[in-house]
A and B are shown apart, each in its own frame.
Chain A
Amino acid sequence: MAHLSPDRLADSALGIADPLTAAEKNHLASCAECRSELGELSRIVDLGRQPEHVTPQRVPTDAIWQSIQVQLASQATAPATTEPSAEPPPAPPTIAELPRRTPRLRSWFLVAAAAVLGLIIGAGITTVAVRDRVEVTSSTSLEPLPGQTGQGTAELLRDRGRPELRVQIDAPPRPDRYREVWLINTDGQRMYPLGVLPDDGRATYPLPPALASQLEGFNIVDVSIEPYDGDPAHSRESQVRGVLPA
């Protein structure tokens, strides 16, 4: 027999069809085309019963639009503007994208863009020049991981109000490796790279703005041993580690 009519298939998927005749059942059993169409219609009925609403009021469209304008504008003023057609939609990663090892932290850009537009006015003014010395707010010892040597301390500072992490380690790195300092979240899912640790094992790093007032769970100080392979990700080999008090 011929294919089932589109109406018949739709009614079947909706569960409002008269029962299928023996001939229709036979046809469905032998016709992949009708089976696939019925399958897709049934899938739509199934998904249609699980709505997922868009609520425009909850979408921060103004902030996003401002960021888009800033981005397009800054691109336009850059000396070497590429032709629009040079970048197809599923763009391959560029060198500029490689350092994004902690992707969710890129929302800094939104903050930066808002600041450019003067939407954030006066933030931080009250803390500037109030303190003129370095103040240690918390600290932890850094202990070697199994198979590693070395010991040190990590201190959370406020230097004239600016949050910083000071790290000191007494052991040198291996000659063919360098070390990097990380703040890892206790949720075990996120980490910030703070920077490379010099060979003398002493350095002070500014904290990401998001952690300026609280560590937000990024309490684990980790020093990794990194090969010179150009891979920005954590090597999975750590020398020392400690946990700052929450």
Chain B
Amino acid sequence: MTQSSSARIVAVPGRVRVFSVVDDARPEPEVVGEHTDWGAASEAELSMGFARGDEACLQEVFRRLAPLIYTIAYRALDSSSDGEEITQDVFVSAWRARDNYQVEKGSLSGWLIGITRHRIADRQRARGRDLRLVQAVTNTSDVQVQPETLSTLIDRIVLTEEIGRLPHPRGSILQLAFWEGRSYPQIAEQLDLPLGTVKSHARRALRHLRTQLTEVTSWPT
């Protein structure tokens, strides 16, 4: 993400402008403010920097969340070009509408996922319209396979991310149980932990996932 010759965009209140397009040997610009290293910032710190309009912050938010947003759009629309366009749309419109993001209402990732959901739904509606139209025009009548609902797909992707992010041994326990179909006694043996400990980790992990899923996918609209 450190393009040495890319356009540098600097935020000023209410608008964005190109600051410099010349080669820049410095690895990253010095950021005015408390943070010089967004790479190490917590999500809460990033959310606040984003809301303040810090351009370097947008880049870090993009670095962390673009793969998630892209994967949701790509899987929902089954098209890499649609995945790219939606991802681009989401970050551009989120940046332009950043005044609408309120830190106290929920996480930034949840807000971005909410925008993604709207964009995908729009695209699916348009596509359905086009598909019906072309079928009417060409007299083809392919049966459209009913896709998995968008919210279920988003939940699955978010859950996979959250499970992958759980600390050890909670993460290993849930991955073995959920993704590899192991029984809890098998997991206890494999990780050399008492069965009761394994079960109690699994229970807490599930309750954590429940909280995270609500936090991330139910941004008030």
A238 with B85: CB separation less than 8 A: no
* Interface residue B25 (Cβ < 8 Å from any Cβ of A): no
| Complexed CA–CA distance, A188 and B140 (Å) | 7
Report chain B residues within 8 Å CB of A109.
85, 88
Give B54-98 as 1s and 0s: 1 = Cβ < 8 Å from A's Cβ atoms.
000001001100111011000100011110110110011111111
Q: Are B100 and A76 in contact (CB under 8 A)?
A: no
- A40 engages B66 (CB within 8 Å): no
**Smallest CB separation, A50 vs chain B (Å):** 6
For chain A, residues 40 to 94, give those with C-beta under 8 angstroms from any C-beta of chain B. 40-41, 44-45, 47-56, 59-73, 75-77, 81, 83-85, 87-91
Q: Within 8 Å CB of B9, what residues of A?
A: 69, 72-73, 76
Question: How many residues in B have their beta carbons less than 8 Å from beta carbons of A?
Answer: 80
What residues of A have a CB within 8 angstroms of the CB of B92 in the complex? 68, 71-72
Taking CB atoms, residues of chain A closer than 8 Å to B213 are 44
In the assembled complex, A229 has its CB within 8 A of some CB on chain B: no
Is A51 in contact with B100, judged by CB distance below 8 angstroms?
no
Q: Given A14-B206, A45-B206, A188-B142, verify A51-B179 contact (CB < 8 Å).
A: yes
Across-interface contacts of B199 in A (CB, < 8 A): 11, 14, 16
Cβ contact of A190, chosen from B62, B130, B184, cutoff 8 A: B130
Task: Please give, as numbers and ranges, the residues of chain A lying within 8 Å of B91 by CB-CB distance.
Answer: 64, 68
Mask of A8-42 contacts with B, CB within 8 angstroms, 1/0: 00110110100000000000000000000000110
A51 & B137 in contact (Cβ 8 Å cutoff)? no
Task: Flag A202-243 by CB within 8 Å of B: 1 or 0 each.
Answer: 000000000000000000101010000000011010100000
Residue from A60, A64, A107, A190 having most chain B Cβ neighbours under 10 A: A64
Given contacts A52-B157, A64-B87, A236-B133, contact A188 B206 (CB under 8 A): no
Task: In the complex, identify which listed stretch (A98-106, A132-140, A151-159) lies at the interface while the others stay far away.
Answer: A98-106
A83 touches which of B14, B18, B163, B209 (Cβ 8 Å):
B14
Question: Which of these, A10, A48, A110, A117, contacts B163 with CB under 8 Å?
Answer: A48
Give the interface residue-count category, chain A: 35 or more
User: B108 within 8 Å of A by Cβ?
Assistant: no
Check if A14 sits within 8 Å of B202, measured CB to CB.
yes
Say whether, besides A59-B67, A188-B142, A101 and B130 are in contact (CB < 8 Å): yes
A176 interfacial contact with B, CB 8 Å = no
Q: Does B99 contact A (CB under 8 A)?
A: yes
Q: Find out whether the CB atom of B210 lies under 8 angstroms from the CB atom of A44.
A: yes
**Does the CB pair A76–B15 fall under 8 Å?**
yes
With a cutoff of 8 Å between Cβ atoms, the chain A residues found around residue B178 in the complex are 45, 48-49, 51
| Beyond known contacts A13-B206, A52-B75: 19 more, CB 8 A cutoff | A6-B207, A16-B202, A48-B159, A48-B209, A49-B179, A52-B160, A54-B67, A54-B160, A64-B84, A64-B87, A66-B3, A68-B91, A69-B9, A72-B9, A77-B18, A84-B98, A106-B85, A189-B142, A233-B129
- A101 contact set on B, CB distance < 8 A: 130
Cβ distance B76 to chain A, nearest Cβ, rounded Å:
11
Q: How far is the CA of A7 from the CA of B207 in the complex (A)?
A: 8
For the complex, what is the distance from the CA of A87 to the CA of B93, rounded to whole Å?
8
Interface string of B1-21 (1 = CB under 8 A from A): 101001101000011111000
Chain A residue with the shortest CB-CB distance to B21: A73
Assuming A51-B160, A54-B68, is B114 touching A89 (CB within 8 A)?
yes
